[in-house]
Chain A
Amino acid sequence: MNKAAVGGGGGGGGPTAAAAVAAAQKQKTLLQRVDADVSNLVDNFSHLVNLARVNDPPVRNSQEAFQMEIRAARMVQAAESLRNLVSELKQTAIFSGFGSLNDNVDRQVAEFNRLEEGSERLLEKVGEQAAANLKELEAHYYSSVLRSSQGDDG
């Protein structure tokens, strides 16, 4: 959560005061949502446990059954809300993690530059080797028996 806030707050390279305030507010909101969801889970579960007692009047038992269903649904809803919160955090990390993105871009650029230089050197090496091989082949050809016999015939 702090990383998300820092990432969100660090966007743009040098956060302004408004951005920092917004990031803090967002962090606070997220924490509140988390707390609400977790407390919702705990409360509903505790109520659910309390409703597990068997009472005498069957009418009361039916009433408690409906309450238990409601508590269970609320628990699932709270869990779903937490999952959505996690998804939002992941999306925030993807789209607001400028620091890590910039670092990654720089790393990629350096890597590609290195590859480019390596390719250039390789090409030069290939060219030089090709030229050397060509020269050697020419020397071999002109000193070969085939060329010599051709000269004798000529």
Chain B
Amino acid sequence: MEESSRKRVAIDLDRLPIKRLNAIDEIGNEQFPPDVSNEDKRLGMLRRIDFSSIVADSIETRRNQKRTSKEAAPGPQQTWPWQGFVENLQLAHQELSVIIDLINTVEANDAVAVAGMQRPKQLPNEILSDLAVSAATKLQRLRNLGRYFKQSSKALEQRVSREARFYGSLIRLQQHWKVKRQRVSATSPGNEGFSFDLVDNTSSNTTILSHPLPNTLVHIVRETAGLLAIQRPQKSHQCISISYSASDFNSRNKKSLKRNIYKSDEILQANRKETLTDEDVNSWVKDTHSVLHEIHQSIFLQQVFDRVKHESYSPSPGIYVTGMREDFLQLAVGQDTSIYLSLVPFKKEDEFLDSMGHSQNTTNEHPHSDSSALVVINEKDMLNENNFGVPSPAGLEIYVMHIFHKNSVVRLKEKKISASRAAVAGQAAADSCGLSHFCKTIAHRIFSNKVLAEIERLVSRIPFVQLLSHPPWHSRTSSWSLSLKFPESVFHSACLSESSNNYDAKGLIRSQLHTKIVVKDDQVTVSGEGAPSTLCSFRISPNVSSVGSYGCDLDDLPLILLQQIAGRIIQWLHDEALIVGMKVRRDFLCLYFDLDQGDMLGLVARVDPDDVNGCISWWLIMEDALQDDGKFSTSTGEYKNRRFLGHLSLEALYFMLMDLVNVSTDNGFS
């Protein structure tokens, strides 16, 4: 087979690529063959390939194979049912091998090249199926896009609502607080650089404060739900507390608002519910506002304490510093009272948090620098004896804040009015409302309570004397008055009708006692009719009345008041005796009646502040005693011609006077 194929292979040589002359005509023109294009050449070469021999050989080969198979298998005459299929496949294989060789030859571009190629035309069902697949694929893609858009829109809506909540809350809070923005690059989640600046420029003064307050910036935190929360700075919940006892620290109870406050190192809570109503947001904003107000108040209190310490550095009248620590100041007020000022953190309702947010024991028995309280300690334990001896700690706390706030307002106004006069006027204002004023006020309150106690003790023992309070509405001034209304006499109205108008006024005025006690700081001033001096005691004229004002000590006050009261009673009796026509003579606390035949009867008032039954007692002295020495004689303890009348009321004294009138009348006294 191969030998026959080899024999049949003919060698065909291509013409040389030169132009051969076909003919020459008579004229001499040469006739060349026409130029053949490359494609024509290729086509010609393709046509020259003769596949018939190969095909014939293949057919012959098949026939021979059939014969051999028939001769080799003379057995059963049954043919394999797939034999024809196999033969067809073999023929197709041969044809394909020929084609593959041709393609390889074409690829090598050796003898032939591909002229053109066309895609076979698709059937309609194939077109429709492809279109359906494409449509389904596109539909799927579009649905994916739809889901993507839905997710994006939902996320955008959430972010928009969160931002609306955040910025809405921020704008609302901006109406009350100053908002600052800091350009921060790397921030913790939720921290966008916003903060509330709580520094009070009206009350702060860097020249006065010993150190700047670091906790005036409150950072704003945006929660995952868009709500506005704040980061509480350190030492932002402190107050000045006052207590009567060193072991009883009166920290203010504050309702904890934990949900609005984060500590500086706390992570944002991510479990907030997203579905928030307007009411929730409103309450949140209100709570935040309340917390900011508390922090601002705490800052103000720290400023107050700082200014108190600053003023304690400079010596001023009334300020006596006996102890000092970081947040602790001890002042001596008066002679036997001390005040402890300190900053105390707010005590929560459920737990007690310090500046670092750690829980601490709520009961503190011993003061220390971090949680001491402002206490008022009386070394003589007068608090146990007299509850009114020391002013109320809560009142003092409010007053110290009022003083320094007023001082800062005054300074601010002075600055606004004139910058040049600010220092002078501010200093003047500081003198009247500062730590010195505060200490003097406390001292005055303690002293005035003592004075009041003494006066009340006196008045309680003298029934016909009334104590009237006159609040002067000045923190370092107290005023009282003692009044005494004499009973109207029978002859009083008749005397009024006979005497002049001037005497009427004087008479009306004289019918009452007006003694005024004024306490300024620790100075007691008594003003009223009748000075307790011997000079006035020798005045004989009844029309002369002296209204004097003089200072005294607390120890001498009861005696002076009693002398004034007794002197005024004597004066009244003297006037009444004159009205009825008696001859009387007044000598300090004595009233002498001139009886017939030179006899003299004396009515003497004895004052004793320690007399429990009544501070003013009365004695009646006959002329014999007066002639002996002209004075009381108590050295022997025996009184001759003296009678103790006891603690008489004004009516009893008046009736006694009338009896004396009758006695003198009986004796022929006219």
Binding between chains A and B: yes
Within 8 A of B (CB), among A19-74: 48, 52, 54-56, 58, 61-62, 64-65, 68-69, 72
- The answer to whether A69 touches B134, judged by C-beta atoms less than 8 angstroms apart, is no
Whether B272 is near chain A, meaning CB under 8 Å from some CB there, is no
Q: Which of B170, B176, B466 contacts A142 (CB 8 A)?
A: B466
- The answer to whether B167 touches A94, judged by C-beta atoms less than 8 angstroms apart, is yes
CB distance from A50 to the nearest CB of B (A): 12
Number of interface residues of A (CB under 8 A): 41
Known: A94-B174, A151-B649. Is A61-B463 also a contact (CB below 8 A)?
no
Number of interface residues of B (CB under 8 A): 39
Whether A127 is near chain B, meaning CB under 8 Å from some CB there, is yes
Whether B464 is near chain A, meaning CB under 8 Å from some CB there, is yes
Q: Which of B134, B156, B649 contacts A154 (CB 8 A)?
A: B649
Whether A79 is near chain B, meaning CB under 8 Å from some CB there, is yes
- The answer to whether A56 touches B137, judged by C-beta atoms less than 8 angstroms apart, is no
Whether B315 is near chain A, meaning CB under 8 Å from some CB there, is no
Contacts of B467 in A (CB 8 A): 138
- The answer to whether A94 touches B133, judged by C-beta atoms less than 8 angstroms apart, is no
Within 8 A of A (CB), among B447-475: 461-464, 466-469, 471, 473
Whether A16 is near chain B, meaning CB under 8 Å from some CB there, is no
Please measure, in the bound complex, the distance between the C-alpha atom of A83 and the C-alpha atom of B152, giving whole angstroms: 13
**Best-buried of B138, B148, B468, B649 by chain A (most CB within 10 Å):** B138
Please measure, in the bound complex, the distance between the C-alpha atom of A142 and the C-alpha atom of B138, giving whole angstroms: 105
Contacts of B469 in A (CB 8 A): 131, 134-135, 138
CB distance from B351 to the nearest CB of A (A): 34
- The answer to whether B149 touches A72, judged by C-beta atoms less than 8 angstroms apart, is yes
Please measure, in the bound complex, the distance between the C-alpha atom of A75 and the C-alpha atom of B461, giving whole angstroms: 97
- The answer to whether B138 touches A65, judged by C-beta atoms less than 8 angstroms apart, is yes
Known: A138-B467, A151-B649, A154-B649. Is A68-B142 also a contact (CB below 8 A)?
yes
Whether A80 is near chain B, meaning CB under 8 Å from some CB there, is yes
Please measure, in the bound complex, the distance between the C-alpha atom of A12 and the C-alpha atom of B381, giving whole angstroms: 61
Known: A52-B142, A58-B130, A58-B137. Is A154-B613 also a contact (CB below 8 A)?
yes
- The answer to whether B647 touches A90, judged by C-beta atoms less than 8 angstroms apart, is no
**Best-buried of B141, B142, B148, B468 by chain A (most CB within 10 Å):** B141
- The answer to whether B145 touches A154, judged by C-beta atoms less than 8 angstroms apart, is no
- The answer to whether A83 touches B160, judged by C-beta atoms less than 8 angstroms apart, is yes
Whether B539 is near chain A, meaning CB under 8 Å from some CB there, is no
Contacts of B152 in A (CB 8 A): 76, 79
CB distance from A125 to the nearest CB of B (A): 12
Known: A83-B156, A127-B471. Is A154-B614 also a contact (CB below 8 A)?
yes
- In the complex, per-residue mask of B401-428: 1 if CB is within 8 Å of any chain A CB, else 0: 0000000000000000000000000000
Please measure, in the bound complex, the distance between the C-alpha atom of A79 and the C-alpha atom of B241, giving whole angstroms: 55
Contacts of A134 in B (CB 8 A): 469, 471
Whether B171 is near chain A, meaning CB under 8 Å from some CB there, is yes
Please measure, in the bound complex, the distance between the C-alpha atom of A77 and the C-alpha atom of B398, giving whole angstroms: 58
Which 9 residue pairs spanning A and B have beta carbons closest together? A151-B463, A90-B167, A65-B141, A76-B152, A142-B466, A54-B135, A154-B463, A54-B134, A61-B134
Given contacts A58-B137, A69-B145, A154-B614, 10 further A-B contacts (CB under 8 A): A52-B138, A56-B131, A58-B130, A76-B148, A76-B152, A95-B181, A138-B466, A138-B467, A151-B649, A154-B461
B interface list, Cβ under 8 A from A = 130-131, 133-135, 137-138, 141-142, 145, 148-149, 152, 156, 159-160, 163, 167, 170-171, 174-176, 179, 181, 461-464, 466-469, 471, 473, 613-614, 647, 649
